[in-house]
Amino acid sequence: MDNWLHDISWAHAFHSEGLTDFFKIVTELGYTTFFMLFLPLGYWLWDKAMFTRLTVIIMLTAIVNAFLKDFFQDPRPAVEWAIDPRTSDSFGMPSGHAQVAAAMWLWLAWELKRSWAWAAAIIIVVLVGLSRIYLGVHDVEDVLSGTALGIATLPVAAILFSSLFSPWHQLPGIVQVSIILSALPVLLLVWPVEQGPRGTAAIVTFMAGWWAGVLYDRKRLEFKRHPNWIIALVGAVIGAGLVAAGLPIAIKALVEAGVPSMWAQVGMLGLIGLFITLIAPIIFRKLRMAG
């Protein structure tokens, strides 16, 4: 059993050029660029309340995953198996791709309540998990533990979004955002490795920025998608492109200017969160690209 959970040499037998290209595309569903496209597009074009809930789930899941990785410090498979070079020096268990995929796509299916959505979600979760094994960056144990944790997120999220947390919504907006930001020093204190949460800390500011925009929108802006789908889509694609392309450029510029990498990410992701839910909707309305 132990060998089966950790030995991925068998996956090499299935390697082919076409399958490698396919799994390289699939694994992109777990990287930052995808989320920086998918989340704003969903917020601007589909359902801003649903995508706010989805964002909360993704961000919380990502923080839990990063914490557990550093807590267990379980090594990834041997480097000679790795086809995906973007794992840096992070640990293996649980797989972040598998955990976030299970939480994100299964929650989206639950929200949609359609059989096709459940089928699509299950297929995506399985393929994302397989992509990490095929590309040699996770073993079976990493993927199974990540998937299990992602599934376990769903009932927790259901409680979080239930009436049990209605007192939260009665708090002043500044208090809500401050409570979210207070998670940052907590993470710095409790993180299990000396280096601290590194890029994971930026998730907190991203959520704070996103939530600040949501609160303003509910009270004053009430952003709505433009009734003309073509106009709405053009604006959203431009906005999402600016987010996905501009984020790494801005972080790199800050680092080159002497800002520590962690704090450059913290500042820029906070701004990006606010851009998605407040700044961009205001711009879309000014340009008559929103309702």
Per residue in 7-40, pLDDT (tens digit) is 887 888 888 889 999 999 999 998 988 999 999 9
- In angstroms, the Cα distances linking 128 to 6, 27, 168, 204 are 18, 6, 34, 25
- Residue 82 above 80 pLDDT? no
Omega prior to 94 cis, within 30 of 0: yes
- Mean pLDDT, residues 89-111: 93
- Tokens representing 207? 């959520």
Is the confidence at residue 79, as pLDDT, over 80? no
pLDDT score recorded for residue 257: 92
pLDDT band at 145 (very low <50, low <70, confident <90, very high): very high
Q: What is the mean pLDDT of the chain?
A: 91
Q: Can you give the pLDDT at residue 169? A: 86
> Could you tell me the pLDDT band of residue 51, with boundaries at 50, 70 and 90?
very high
Q: Where are the alpha helices (DSSP H) in the chain?
A: 2-6, 17-27, 32-45, 48-72, 96-112, 115-134, 140-160, 166-170, 173-181, 183-190, 201-216, 229-256, 261-274, 280-286
- Number of CB atoms found within 10 A of residue 286's CB: 9
Q: What pTM was computed for the model?
A: 0.90
CA 66 to chain centre: 12
Residue 205: predicted pLDDT = 95
Residue 253 reports pLDDT greater than 80: yes
Domain extents in the chain: 16-32+47-170, 171-291
pLDDT the model gives residue 1: 52
Q: Percent of the chain scored above 90 by pLDDT?
A: 71
Residue 80 has pLDDT above 70, yes or no: yes
Structure-token pair, residue 118: 């459940």
Helical H segments across 161-260, by residue range: 166-170, 173-181, 183-190, 201-216, 229-256
pLDDT digit string, tens, across residues 159-209: 999 999 889 889 999 999 999 999 999 999 999 998 888 888 899 999 999
**Is a pLDDT exceeding 60 seen at residue 225?**
yes
Q: What percent of the chain has pLDDT over 70?
A: 99
- Condensed to tens digits (0 to 9), the pLDDT of residues 108-133 reads 999 999 999 999 999 999 999 999 99
Give pLDDT, residue 27: 94
Q: What pLDDT digit, counting tens, does each position of 129-141 carry?
A: 999 999 988 999 9
